[in-house]
């Protein structure tokens, strides 16, 4: 079954860090280029995020995600380089269009922010299974109902896709035309979606029953099967994250 997750199942130092520390790191990394609007700070935190990806041995898995953001980065460079309001110093010309130094510097800062966001997110989502992230949030007090919705979406959507594939095969076997021009495809969509939606509705009702019987609405304080302190670098990573936060705040206040 195809999973709705970017988690890479392997082992490295970053995998020994608890999800909350990684989430804290991602938040600090997100905010740093805004707290410290200098290119140096943006470069430093982006470099740190990419270093963590390298240490975590998941760098190559972030590359496709960066590739997707390439279009956004390209548009930032073009728009800012050409039309940034403070543009004054011409930098270079391409096909008669002048790119300015001020706009290009701003574009660099924005690009670093985008790369930093993706890399910081990557540190969290590439090295932590989604259910572990959500369970950690539930331990911190997130509603179990919200947690269930998030977790079930991650599991049930891939299952619905598999059901869709099975129904597609079954309809093909019955001779339903599923490929061809737009009209044929629209017609086939009805034949495919009908059984998928009906079976999903039925399953949802039965699953709701099963959840009720398994104490989903119980009022007792929730417990967890997984140990809370199962991460060897739990304490040291928390200290590191707090130090990073203090460094960022100190830089902002005193430098």
Partner 1 sequence: MSIIQVENLKYQYPSAEHLALNNLTFTINQGEFIGIAGANKAGKTSLCMALCGLIPHFFKGAYGGNVLVNDKPVRDTPLNNLTDLTGLVLDHPFTQLSGAKNTVFGEIAFGLENKGVPRKLMLERIEEVLHLLHISELRNKHPFTLSGGEMQRVAIASALALKPDILLLDEPTSQLDAARTTEVFRMLANLADQGTTLIIAEYNIEKMALHCHRILLLNTGSAIDFNTPRWVFSRPDLNEHGIVPPLITRLAKSLHIKRDDGLYPVETREFNALGGFVDA
What is the contact surface with partner 1 in residues (CB under 8 A)? 1, 129, 131, 144, 147-148, 151-152, 155-156, 158-159, 203, 206-225, 227
**From the CB of 210, what's the least distance to partner 1, in Å?**
5
CA dist 198 and 201 (Å) reads: 5
What residues contact 82, with CB distance under 8 A and at least 6 apart?
Answer: 97, 98, 99, 100, 103
**From the CB of 10, what's the least distance to partner 1, in Å?**
16
Q: Give whichever of 72 and 210 is closer to partner 1, judged by the CB atom.
A: 210
Q: Give whichever of 230 and 239 is closer to partner 1, judged by the CB atom.
A: 230
**From the CB of 121, what's the least distance to partner 1, in Å?**
21
**From the CB of 14, what's the least distance to partner 1, in Å?**
20
| Closest of 44, 22, 94 to residue 251, by C-alpha | 44
Q: What 3 state SS string does 67-102 have?
A: HHHHHHHHHHHHHHHHHCCCCCCEEEEECCEEEEHH
**From the CB of 220, what's the least distance to partner 1, in Å?**
3
Q: Give whichever of 86 and 212 is closer to partner 1, judged by the CB atom.
A: 212
DSSP state of 210: H
Q: Give whichever of 150 and 178 is closer to partner 1, judged by the CB atom.
A: 150
What residues contact 108, with CB distance under 8 A and at least 6 apart?
Answer: 39
| Closest of 63, 21, 52, 71 to residue 243, by C-alpha | 21
Q: Is the dihedral of CA 187, 189, 190, 195 positive or negative?
A: positive
Q: Give whichever of 67 and 141 is closer to partner 1, judged by the CB atom.
A: 141
Strands (E), the chain: 90-94, 97-100
Q: Give whichever of 204 and 250 is closer to partner 1, judged by the CB atom.
A: 204
Are 193 and 171 contacting, i.e. CB atoms less than 8 angstroms apart? no
Q: Give whichever of 156 and 244 is closer to partner 1, judged by the CB atom.
A: 156
**From the CB of 225, what's the least distance to partner 1, in Å?**
4
**From the CB of 25, what's the least distance to partner 1, in Å?**
24
CA dist 177 and 168 (Å) reads: 10
Are 12 and 55 contacting, i.e. CB atoms less than 8 angstroms apart? yes
């Amino acid at each position: 079954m195809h999973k709705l997750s970017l988690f890479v199942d392997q082992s490295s130092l970053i995998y020994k860090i608890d999800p909350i520390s990684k989430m804290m790191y991602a938040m600090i990394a997100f905010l740093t280029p805004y707290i410290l609007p200098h290119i140096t700070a943006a470069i430093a935190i982006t470099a740190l995020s990419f270093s963590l990806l390298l240490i975590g041995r998941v760098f190559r898995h972030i590359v496709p995600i960066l590739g997707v953001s390439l279009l956004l980065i390209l548009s930032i460079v073009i728009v800012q380089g050409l039309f940034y309001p403070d543009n004054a110093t011409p930098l270079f010309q391409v096909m008669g269009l002048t790119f300015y130094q001020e706009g290009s510097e701003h574009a660099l800062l924005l690009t670093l922010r985008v790369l930093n966001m993706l890399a910081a997110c990557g540190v969290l989502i590439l090295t932590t299974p989604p259910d572990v992230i959500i369970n950690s949030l539930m331990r911190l007090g997130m509603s179990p109902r919200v947690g269930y919705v998030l977790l079930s979406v991650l599991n049930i959507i891939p299952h619905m896709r598999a059901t869709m594939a099975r129904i597609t095969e079954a309809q093909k076997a019955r001779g339903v035309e599923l490929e061809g021009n737009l009209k044929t495809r629209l017609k086939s969509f009805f034949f495919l979606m009908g059984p998928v939606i009906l079976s999903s509705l039925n399953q949802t009702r039965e699953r709701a029953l099963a959840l009720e019987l398994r104490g989903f609405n119980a009022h007792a304080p929730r417990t967890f099967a997984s140990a809370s302190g199962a991460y060897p670098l739990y304490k040291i990573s928390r200290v590191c994250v707090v130090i990073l936060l203090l460094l960022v705040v100190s830089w902002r206040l005193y430098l």
